[in-house]
A and B are shown apart, each in its own frame.
Chain A
Amino acid sequence: MTQSGKEILSARQVGFSVDAPGGRLDILKDISLDLNGGETLAIVGASGSGKTTLLGLLAGLDRPTSGDIRLIGTELKPLDENARARLRKRHVGFVFQSFHLLPSLTALENVMLALEIAGFEAPRKRALDALDQVGLSHRLEHYPRQLSGGEQQRVAIARAFAGEPEILFADEPTGNLDQRTGESVADLLFELNERHGTALVLVTHDMRLARRCGRVEEIEDGMLAGGEVAVDHA
């Protein structure tokens, strides 16, 4: 259920701060950005620049201390944790650096779990399709510990796309993989993204990966560096 061209995500003067012993510590300041259906955006920056925090706020995992975020046409500010969870389960997918598969569930069950949380009909059939798309139909009953890092991330990608979300958030999706595996996982991610027309927000410090996105925003000391980073679409 993708909405190509339509506004999917919009952040207006978003700030995030925490109380620290030395006083108030601003982690993010005055961030504004937009993303339409099917678009891809990379957020790059040094460690500690606040890019992962920004990803969490954009995905509704936490609330900004200032500013507004609209996700799938819904203001996040007035929503409590449960309401944001309901929004995520139908419209948002995730891929994490550490894969975050539940070790006690098989590959198939891990994918099914997300679908069941979202309340999809026939979760098993959808999960089987998704795993087939990432080339893992022969590993359905394997537990995460029986899979390689690349395979685990492919299960996580299948989990992310199985519910056909409108927007996918990926946090350093190749960060824990060697270069070759990382590239093949990235290929898969972009291929599925294109096929499903999903919007993608990707946090990385790997510029090669970032450049595969339509847009790259650099974050520095909690602020967007102003002006998009040049993207080489070669």
Chain B
Amino acid sequence: MNATSLSLKLLTRQARSGALIMLFAGLVVATAALAAVSLFTDRVGRALERQAGEVLAADLVVTGRERLPEAYRDKAAELGLDTAEIALLSTVLFVGEESHLVDLKAVTEGYPLRGQLKLADRLGAAEETLAAIPEPGTGWMAARGLSLFETDTGVSVDIGRRPVTVDRVLTWEPDRGGSRFMLAPRLIIHMDDLLESELLGPGSRVRWRLLVAGSESAVAEFRRWVGPRLEERQGIETVAEAEADTGQALEQARRFLGVAALTAVILAAAAVLLAALRFSRSQRDLVALLKAFGAESRQILLALTLLLLWLALTAIALGGLLGFGAQAVIGQILADGPAGELPAARLLPLLGSGGFTLLLAGGFALPPLVALRTVAPMRILNRSLDARPGLAGGLWLLPVLGALTIPVLQLGNLRLAMIVLGGSAALAAVLALAAWLAMGLSRQLSKRTRADWRFGLAGLHRRRGQGIIQITALGLGLMALLLLMIVRAELLEQWRGSLPADTADHFVVNIQPDQTDAVRDALVEAGARNVQVRPMATVNLIEVNGEPPPDHRWAGQVNVSWIDRLPPANRVVEGAFFAPDATGEISLAQRWSERTGIGLGDTMLFEAGSRRFEATVTSMREVEWESFNVNFFILLTPSAGDALPHQFIASFRMPEEAGPLRAVQQGWPNVSIIDIGALLDRVSEIIDRVSRAAQVVFFFTLVAGVVVLLAALEATRDERRQEAALIRALGADDAMVRRGLLIEYGAMAFIAAVLATGGAAITGWLLARELFEFAYRPSALLLTTGFLASFVLVIGSGWLGNRSVLRTSPIRILRAGG
């Protein structure tokens, strides 16, 4: 018999062997997790490629904070290039009592120069491509925007003083870029509407873009011409740069999901190793027999390798299918707008995940099978003549190498891979230590209990090596899922709840000095509370202690304010706050001081227009940034500030309805109202979506954990059946055997659930403390639900894996040789 047919016979005849099934399950889970992530990232990658050249809606874009000079457009026209103009502005829109932040885009004829807009007549209607821009007085809004306002096409919104009717749904715009999951909903209007809206007062926060497209040589010529003429706060974007940006966003998403998939792969690898060791042990008699009958080691080795190959190939097919389904779910969760924006998944990325599965099989399952080569044929006569099975010497290196190589290859980043591996290992070590301690404790407790408890808990203690692996594996999967649930359901909500009742939730920027009092009064009349208005100027930092600032990241333009007394939510930690009539003094926020190294006694030279002034740092402040009041890193004395060209910024709390703010916006169209609440909602939504996508991937981690549990169970099945047969022979009935198993698995489930729930709560608390700076208190409901779900899952899996133990007949005790 040749090796191929031997391998097929071995595989088909043992297809029902528990160890083989677990080995297969481990390979399937790993493939599915990797396939889901690589299929999804491939789709996003191709969606971006499809837009190549469209990411800018042009071949080149000149950007600026003010409208770009006519001369640029004239030069482009002279070179035979097409041009169009865009103005981008975030603003709050009102429809009835609803107000939401919207990304406004005003465009001129010709937009987009590259790519096309897709539109629908109303929500849910078929999309069509249109080569036009909105007529003046009309606008096209993204579906999500219309949903937020709970309306459909036909609704009228005010852009400053200009009413605009939304007459179409925007389903696709080419220059949305890689931050497709991040932005507020888009509203595209005609440029004339923006120009007439009075939103464009001095200091407005509009970003201007001049789009240019045409022949390659003419674009290059234009670039050479415009480069040296760029003014301050103007820049050039090209397709390559834009793609690099979106590529970076994609890379981050890929890494995040990759890390999630990797935890599933690590656990699956553990399951594969456990199952392979068990399968290898169960094959020793067979191998000894084959050898006694004259089979050569080489032939047996080849047959076993082929067996593993068949198994891996089948797992790749099945895991690929599962991964395919999972990526569709992830795509749905993360899709922004109607499905179908992402290109359909293709099979190519499955080759990559299949390759990983082969690597996993080779690294983790092959070594125990290769070890069978050394089985002595004498075993057939006397088992004790056969050395203990195991992975002698170098064979252990393969799983170790696999464990190190797979993450590096999968994440494509050595440092990140090592962080993930180190992090998982550290977490696993903590869980394992906790499990070990808990098991020791349970054994001590069992000495004071009844027979069924003693039997159950002693079983747990007896197999504590296996138990620790099971608890750790399941604990990791459960903890990851629970933590995501905590972040999604509670952390953000509690953080917002932890803010004081009068915490500012709106800003008004760009208030001109002559508008200050009127705007303040209007805000108060609209019901705003805790209104604080501060002057603000933008100045250049020229020198520190007579030297140019050493770090370009914070040198240059800085925003400053001035005040005659220490502002609320500020505390002086060093020096003394300047007197109201002081001159030449400055107060710095501690956080900025830490970043820049500028401290008490340092002298700073600023420039504003043609004016220069110098001041010395005389106090350092600790600022409660989470108060959301207007706060500044740099505070000047009133005497220095009043002389600067400036505007005002207001922060306030708007209780309940934001509707009355419409009057403020309409009364002073140049000011911009920023709804922090809406921004926070958007951040929550993003975190919610990403968490849900990650949960899909972490689900595989949990399944891998269950496979580890079942594989470990499989490894001790004979021992359990023997024990069950013994206590049956001694007179225990079904109920007692069941109770014993329930107690053993109940204890294991309890430990795993406590560790997972506790671990997730502690991690959530740490996240809250470090990132959000508040004391998170997990809700009893969530923790109880998490605990119960974990408990039921572990006990259920244990029960499932132990069915054959329950059916063990006591006669087995006489037949087992022991």
Contact = CB atoms under 8 A, between A and B. Distances in A.
B451 A104 contact: no
Contact of B810 (A61, A86, A90, A105): A61
Interface of A is mostly: helix
Contacts of A113: 451, 454-455, 727, 730
Interface string B713-750: 00000000011001111111111100000000000000
A117 B459 CA distance: 16
Contact of B734 (A53, A62, A82, A98): A82
A222 to B, nearest CB: 16
B818 interface: yes
Nearest to B730: A114
A61 B451 contact: no
Nearest to A92: B731
Contacts of A176: 818
A117 B736 contact: yes
Contact of A85 (B458, B733, B815, B817): B733
B462 A117 contact: no
B515 interface: no
Contacts of A105: 454-455, 458
Contact of A117 (B447, B732, B815): B732
B733 to A, nearest CB: 4
Nearest to A82: B733
A102 B733 contact: no
Contacts of B462: 102-104
B807 to A, nearest CB: 10
Nearest to A101: B726
A59 B727 CA distance: 14
Contacts of A92: 731
Among B459, B723, B728, B731, find the residue whose CB has the most chain A CB atoms closer than 10 A: B731
Nearest to B809: A62
Interface string B82-120: 000000000000000000000000000000000000000
Contacts of B728: 61, 81, 85
B32 to A, nearest CB: 37
Nearest to B731: A89
Given A61-B810, A100-B818, A104-B462, A88 B729 contact: yes
A96 interface: yes
A56 interface: yes
Nearest to A96: B813
Contacts of B816: 98
Contacts of A61: 728-729, 809-811, 813-814
A92 B731 CA distance: 8
B628 to A, nearest CB: 60
Given A62-B811, A103-B462, A117 B730 contact: yes
A109 B734 CA distance: 21
A161 to B, nearest CB: 13
A36 interface: no
Contacts of B463: 104
Given A102-B723, A102-B726, A112 B451 contact: yes
B450 interface: yes
B461 interface: yes
Interface of B is mostly: helix
B814 A55 contact: yes
Interface string B459-490: 10111000000000000000000000000000
Given A61-B811, A105-B458, A94 B451 contact: no
Contact of B813 (A86, A100, A116, A159): A100
B814 A171 contact: yes
B732 A98 contact: no
A133 B461 CA distance: 29
B731 A98 contact: no
A218 to B, nearest CB: 19
B802 to A, nearest CB: 16
Contact of A52 (B455, B459, B461, B815): B815
Among A88, A100, A118, A171, find the residue whose CB has the most chain B CB atoms closer than 10 A: A100
Contacts of A98: 816-818
B727 A117 contact: yes
A193 B736 CA distance: 29
A56 B459 contact: no
A96 B816 CA distance: 10
A53 B451 CA distance: 29
A94 B729 contact: yes
A21 to B, nearest CB: 16
Given A100-B726, A105-B454, A118 B818 contact: no
Contacts of B451: 112-113, 116-117, 123
A98 to B, nearest CB: 3
A53 B811 CA distance: 8
Interface string A42-80: 000000000011011001011000000000000000000
B436 to A, nearest CB: 15
Among B461, B463, B728, find the residue whose CB has the most chain A CB atoms closer than 10 A: B728
Interface in B796-818: 809-811, 813-818
A89 B458 contact: no
Contacts of A123: 451
Contacts of A99: 818
A193 to B, nearest CB: 19
Nearest to A172: B814
A4 interface: no
Interface string A186-213: 0000000000000000000000000000
Nearest to A104: B462
Among A81, A85, A86, A123, find the residue whose CB has the most chain B CB atoms closer than 10 A: A85
A100 B818 CA distance: 7
A119 B40 CA distance: 61
A117 B722 CA distance: 17
B743 to A, nearest CB: 13
A97 interface: yes
Contacts of B815: 52
B734 A81 contact: yes
A105 B727 CA distance: 13
11 contacts: A52-B814, A81-B733, A81-B734, A82-B733, A85-B731, A98-B817, A100-B726, A116-B450, A116-B451, A118-B731, A171-B814
Given A89-B732, A102-B462, A104-B463, 10 more contacts: A52-B815, A55-B814, A61-B728, A62-B811, A85-B731, A85-B810, A96-B818, A100-B722, A117-B731, A118-B730
